[in-house]
Structure 1
Amino acid sequence: MNKPVVICVDDEQTILDSLEIELQKSLGDEYLIETALGGEEALELIEELIEDNYEVVLVISDQIMPNLKGDELLKRVHEISPTTLKIMLTGQADLEAVSNAIKDAKLYRYMTKPWQPEDLKLTVKEALNSYIQQKKLAEQNAQLQQMNQVLEQLNRKQAALISQLHENESRLRQFLEAMPVGVAVLDAEGKPYFINQKAKEIFGKGVVPHTTTEQLSDVYQVYQAGINQKYPVEKLPIVRALKGESAIADDLEIHQGDKIIPLEVWATPIYDAKGNLIYAINTLQNITDRKQAETERQKFIEELFELNCNLELALESESELANAAKRFVPNEFLSHLGHKSLVDVQVGDQVQQEMSVLFSDIRDFTALSETMTPQENFKFINAYLSRMGPAISAHQGFIDKYIGDAIMALFSGEADNAVKAGIAMLNQLAEYNQNRINSGYVPLKIGIGINTGSLMLGTVGEQSRMDTTVISDAVNLASRLEQLTKNYEASLLISHHTLARLQDPSQYNIRLIEKVKVKGKSKAVAVFEVLDGDRAEMRDAKLATKSSLEEGLFLYYRQHFREAAERFQEVLTINPWDRVAQIYFERTQQQL
């Protein structure tokens, strides 16, 4: 850091040397002592020092100098460095020069020549001390001015903040007043601070001064819902919020005379920027309408429950009726007609589609029934039918009607379903017969005929009495096939229409036995016997002679009766109980 500079100016070198020596003795190394011969040299020196960042604190100048006198020099110095102190040192100065120096250069002191060393020493030190004090004062003034500016800015900001705070408080109050629910605020000490208009309507009063936390339930008449007891203060949501807890409650009531107002309350604490709890605020919702709605809803639920119970009873009754009706009119029949309920069925409803028809009948039932009482007859028939029905439904069929001991069943979809159902019926019959034999009864024999074709399903009758029916030549042919089972002592016969619609006929044991002409039709219908439901020994015997029988039939229908008779004789040699071979052998004998 550069030392402060003291400059001595005179036009005589001896005087300058003398001044420099005395000042160095007096000031030591704290200051840099510079000299200049004349005013112009002094000005150049000052400008150089200032340019090099030296601080020129004092200029001691003679008055009488060539070219530039002392008072003029000091005036120029003041213009260059206003803070530099000036001392005029001369023996010939007049009052005008001193006055000019004081006026234009702020002259610090005037000293006469020759000077007294002690006087010079004291004057210079006083000047330097004065400079230092003025410098400090200037710095302090600058700092004070800067602080005043900062303070002024802070005051402006504070005023703006206060104005904004007042505006925010006003807006907050307007907002709280505009809320559709009651709002109440406690300060940190638990005293009421703010209550909006809605809350005043609920409480019947506003802020009650000097109310303590312990007095809240009493002052504002807060009760526990449903009982005539004051609400415990420590459980009030807003009091819990004063402890830093967010709380909700819907079991409060406000009593205003005879008027009771149920409330739902939400409360939460409010903190300042430092995390200190300063308020607790809660909202108050009048839930009178909700309570009334809940009461009405509960009543409605009870009524609905009762209605539902009655409806369940009605549905159970309807279900029982539907199940009862289903036993008389199969749901499958209704489904084919496009109806879900028997109620929807009208006289004349009908639909046409391809189906397989199954007829079954008990052989010699008339003779059998004559040995039983009416009660035994019905018991026997129901025992038999209860075993046949499941075999039909298990293969996607349904029973259209019972005709005494006979069954008429329908199958939509694949013809295999009807054939498999017939085989299953024969298997069920075998088990049933074993039980009958074990019980001392004679076994039963049944015949089953199946045909596939286009049917008309519909309803016939009149409005007060109707029935379901199936109309088609296909039905008549199925019935005819069932009747043929008696002639040929076969268990299950199918038409070539059914055979043609089987997915894989090779899965079954089938043989051709007849060509039948149906009434009203010009073409004969081929009849096939399905052997899968026969007893094993009977089935094996028929399969062993199948090719011979079918060759005989081919020859018979070609009217080669002798050759046909030979084939039928071959069959009877192996299986003398084959009724089909017996019939055709007799027919050939009649033709020979």
Structure 2
Amino acid sequence: MTKPVILCVDDEPMILDTLRRLLRRTLGGKYRFEFAGSGNEGIKLAQELIEAGEELAVVISDYMMPGLRGDEVLKVIHHLSPHTMNIMLTGHADIDGVFNAIQYAKLYRYISKPWENEDLSLTITEAINSFQQQKQLADQNFQLQEMNRALELLTQDQANLIESLGKTERKYRSIFENALEGIFQISPDGKFINANPTLAKIYGYESPKELMSSITDVQKQLYVEPNRWDELLETLHERLEISKFESQVYNRDGEIIWISESARIVNDENGDILYYQGFVEDITERKRAEAELERFTSELFELNQSFFRFVPHQFLQYLGKDSIVDVQLGDNVQQEMSVLFADIRDFTSLSEQMTPEDNFKFINAYLSHVEPAIAEYRGFVDKYIGDEIMALFSHSADDALRAGIRMLDLLAEYNKTRRRTDPTKPTYRPPIEIGIGINTGKLMLGTVGGKSRMDGTVIGDAVNLASRLEGLTKNYGVSLLISHYTFVRLNHINEYGIRLIDHVQVKGKLEMVSVFEVFDADPPDLRAGKQATKTMFERGLLHYYLGEISEAIALFESCLEQNPQDKVAQIYLTRCKGDI
């Protein structure tokens, strides 16, 4: 006797090789495996197998393939072999493709790539079991139909066939009594007509007679959800074919068990319903295992979510890792990113007025208000250093700048809740001021530490410069500074209020870095004043660097006449007068 065949159809040789190793490892020598590299090749191979009398048990097909799609392949194979179990295994199926496969190819299950080997193995095993059950049910129904045909042809002139029919009936009775599945016949009004010993055992009864005498209304006495029986009957009447579904039922002791049930309608010669006939399998243990797996998966998901609160999932993605457990000490990658540092001004003075507990409440309240702006613009927090935030942005420099502006806007809203009218009272809470520095460049992202503890971090001159820019915000009394490395990478530079305010030398390097102030988050009057005097201020800055102090003084004084709150113009005016 030939082995049942499992056919795999996929245009990717690597996928076929993976399936080949998985099937051989999982199912061993029980089945024969065939592989096709396209939809047309799969149909041709399936047709050859069926014409040769082979049992085509399961077909596993990709969806997106050159030529025929997976749903079209499965539809053709289903037409050739209706009992074959069809599985769609793909990462590109759309809803229409899945629907077509379910409707026209009787899709057993759809599994996304990449798959879990254990889930795929379990699905294939269950599909094989379903194929064998349907084949057994079809064989048994065929035998019953043969008996019915024989009875219909029985006449007085054919009495010599009675002995042959008796043998057939005894054969059927033997199958009925010794089947491993529960077999039933139920009247249209929901009463047992017949039941085998296995069915009685599944429901916890000693014999079929005890089962049938105790259960007088199948729908009301057995089904946890009575409408499930109505659902099965409705499906049977609509499809006029074997239908299968899973339900929860009560056993003799009132405990809930799970069953898998297949049923069909048996009609008389006029098309009226005689009874419902079907098979029942106890799947309680399988359901418990599935529930345990689901619980474990849920707990694992929650654990991963907890890890992501300490190690951002973006960090793992850059390192090419799927899970935190895959990260090794020394893993690293070079990446161009924008680095944002944000720090509270005069935090030491603020914290000295609070208890340790109040300090933590204050920091967490502040961070919870401004941190969402980072995620809003596709960044992630690399670390918190006390009250300081360090965030990374890999998509564009605009994301980092917009996040910085948004953080300042959110801080202004938060400060409204902190205001107290009288600074002399204990309840007074001064508004918070922060400085933000942003730089863009190449950096190394990876893990550092030792055997007992490691941490993810970024290293490089780009990080150091961003930190220094944040520090310079205190010197100039501004909220947001960016380097020229960030400035030249902005895609929408005209959308921001930006002006050049300095050239600084990077610590440890000879090169000078241009520093730009972004004043979009300033109060409206100050912002308007800086925008109006932007050209004048930058001309004054040019004269200052050229040593033309008198010209610089005139321009800075003009800036301050129009915008007296401009602290940077005041700083340069003071410098100029000090140089005279």
Corresponding residue number in structure 2 for 1:200: 167
Counterpart contact for 1:185–1:194, Cα < 8 Å: no
TM-aligned CA deviation for residue 515 of structure 1: 0.5
- Give the alignment partner of residue 406 of structure 1, picking from 371, 388, 406: 388
Partner AA of 2:195 in structure 1: A
Corresponding residue number in structure 2 for 1:579: 567
Aligned pairs, number: 348
**Aligned-partner Cα distance in 1 for 2:517–2:157:** 103
- Give the alignment partner of residue 538 of structure 2, picking from 543, 550, 558: 550
Corresponding residue number in structure 2 for 1:328: 310
Corresponding residue number in structure 2 for 1:428: 410
**Aligned-partner Cα distance in 2 for 1:497–1:352:** 17
Corresponding residue number in structure 1 for 2:334: 352
Corresponding residue number in structure 1 for 2:194: 224
Counterpart contact for 1:350–1:457, Cα < 8 Å: yes
Partner AA of 2:322 in structure 1: K
Alignment of 1:492 onto 2:454:
no
Corresponding residue number in structure 1 for 2:376: 394
- Give the alignment partner of residue 450 of structure 1, picking from 427, 438, 443: 438
CA offsets 1:121-169 (integer angstroms, 9 cap, x no match): xxxxxxxxxxxxxxxxxxxxxxxxxxxxxxxxxxxxxxxxxxxxxxxxx
CA offsets 1:403-446 (integer angstroms, 9 cap, x no match): 11100000011111001001100100010001101574210100
Corresponding residue number in structure 2 for 1:522: 510
Corresponding residue number in structure 1 for 2:492: 504
**Aligned-partner Cα distance in 1 for 2:515–2:413:** 28
Q: 1:491 to 1:195 in 2, by over 3 A?
A: farther
CA offsets 1:348-400 (integer angstroms, 9 cap, x no match): 11111111000000000000000000110000100000011111100001000
Q: 1:202 to 1:515 in 2, by over 3 A?
A: same
TM-aligned CA deviation for residue 542 of structure 1: 1.6
**Aligned-partner Cα distance in 1 for 2:514–2:171:** 103
Q: 1:450 to 1:192 in 2, by over 3 A?
A: farther
Corresponding residue number in structure 1 for 2:299: 317
Q: 1:341 to 1:195 in 2, by over 3 A?
A: farther
Q: 1:448 to 1:500 in 2, by over 3 A?
A: same
**Aligned-partner Cα distance in 2 for 1:493–1:352:** 25
CA offsets 1:17-66 (integer angstroms, 9 cap, x no match): xxxxxxxxxxxxxxxxxxxxxxxxxxxxxxxxxxxxxxxxxxxxxxxxxx
**Aligned-partner Cα distance in 2 for 1:264–1:580:** 86
Q: 1:388 to 1:196 in 2, by over 3 A?
A: farther
**Aligned-partner Cα distance in 2 for 1:387–1:338:** 31
Partner AA of 1:470 in structure 2: V
TM-aligned CA deviation for residue 304 of structure 1: 1.9
- Give the alignment partner of residue 401 of structure 2, picking from 397, 409, 419: 419
Corresponding residue number in structure 2 for 1:144: none
- Give the alignment partner of residue 449 of structure 2, picking from 451, 461, 466: 461
TM-aligned CA deviation for residue 588 of structure 1: 1.7
Q: 1:336 to 1:266 in 2, by over 3 A?
A: same
**Aligned-partner Cα distance in 1 for 2:526–2:265:** 91
Q: 1:535 to 1:302 in 2, by over 3 A?
A: same
CA offsets 1:535-581 (integer angstroms, 9 cap, x no match): 11111122222122111110111111221122122222333332211
Corresponding residue number in structure 1 for 2:346: 364
Q: Secondary structure at the match of 2:377?
A: coil
Partner AA of 1:428 in structure 2: L
Corresponding residue number in structure 2 for 1:533: 521
**Aligned-partner Cα distance in 1 for 2:536–2:579:** 20
Alignment of 1:185 onto 2:151:
yes
CA offsets 1:245-277 (integer angstroms, 9 cap, x no match): xx9999xxxxxxxxxxxx99978869xxxxxxx
**Aligned-partner Cα distance in 1 for 2:394–2:489:** 12
CA offsets 1:76-116 (integer angstroms, 9 cap, x no match): xxxxxxxxxxxxxxxxxxxxxxxxxxxxxxxxxxxxxxxxx
Q: Secondary structure at the match of 1:476?
A: helix
TM-score, with length taken from structure 1: 0.54
Give the RMSD, CA atoms, in angstroms.
Answer: 3.4
**Aligned-partner Cα distance in 2 for 1:426–1:586:** 28
The share of aligned pairs that are identical, in percent, is 50
**Aligned-partner Cα distance in 1 for 2:537–2:437:** 21
Partner AA of 1:536 in structure 2: P
**Aligned-partner Cα distance in 1 for 2:396–2:156:** 90
Alignment of 1:470 onto 2:458:
yes
**Aligned-partner Cα distance in 2 for 1:248–1:327:** 53
Partner AA of 2:464 in structure 1: N
Q: How does 1:21-170 map to 2 (within 5 A)?
A: none
Q: Which moved more, 1:340-349 or 1:403-412?
A: 340-349
Q: Which moved more, 1:354-363 or 1:570-579?
A: 570-579
Counterpart contact for 1:362–1:405, Cα < 8 Å: yes
**Aligned-partner Cα distance in 2 for 1:337–1:584:** 45
Alignment of 1:481 onto 2:469:
yes
Alignment of 1:379 onto 2:349:
no
**Aligned-partner Cα distance in 1 for 2:553–2:339:** 34
Counterpart contact for 1:185–1:195, Cα < 8 Å: no
Structure 1 stretches lacking a partner, 5+ long: 1-178, 206-222, 232-246, 251-262, 271-286
Counterpart contact for 1:180–1:198, Cα < 8 Å: no
Partner AA of 1:185 in structure 2: L
**Aligned-partner Cα distance in 2 for 1:199–1:485:** 101
Q: 1:577 to 1:302 in 2, by over 3 A?
A: same
Q: 1:204 to 1:340 in 2, by over 3 A?
A: closer
**Aligned-partner Cα distance in 1 for 2:418–2:445:** 37
Partner AA of 1:554 in structure 2: L
Q: 1:265 to 1:396 in 2, by over 3 A?
A: closer
**Aligned-partner Cα distance in 2 for 1:579–1:267:** 95
Q: 1:324 to 1:332 in 2, by over 3 A?
A: same
TM-aligned CA deviation for residue 521 of structure 1: 2.4
TM-aligned CA deviation for residue 193 of structure 1: 5.5
Corresponding residue number in structure 1 for 2:115: none
Q: Which moved more, 1:575-584 or 1:356-365?
A: 575-584
**Aligned-partner Cα distance in 2 for 1:470–1:248:** 64
Q: Secondary structure at the match of 1:327?
A: helix
Corresponding residue number in structure 2 for 1:168: none
Max radius of gyration: which structure? 1
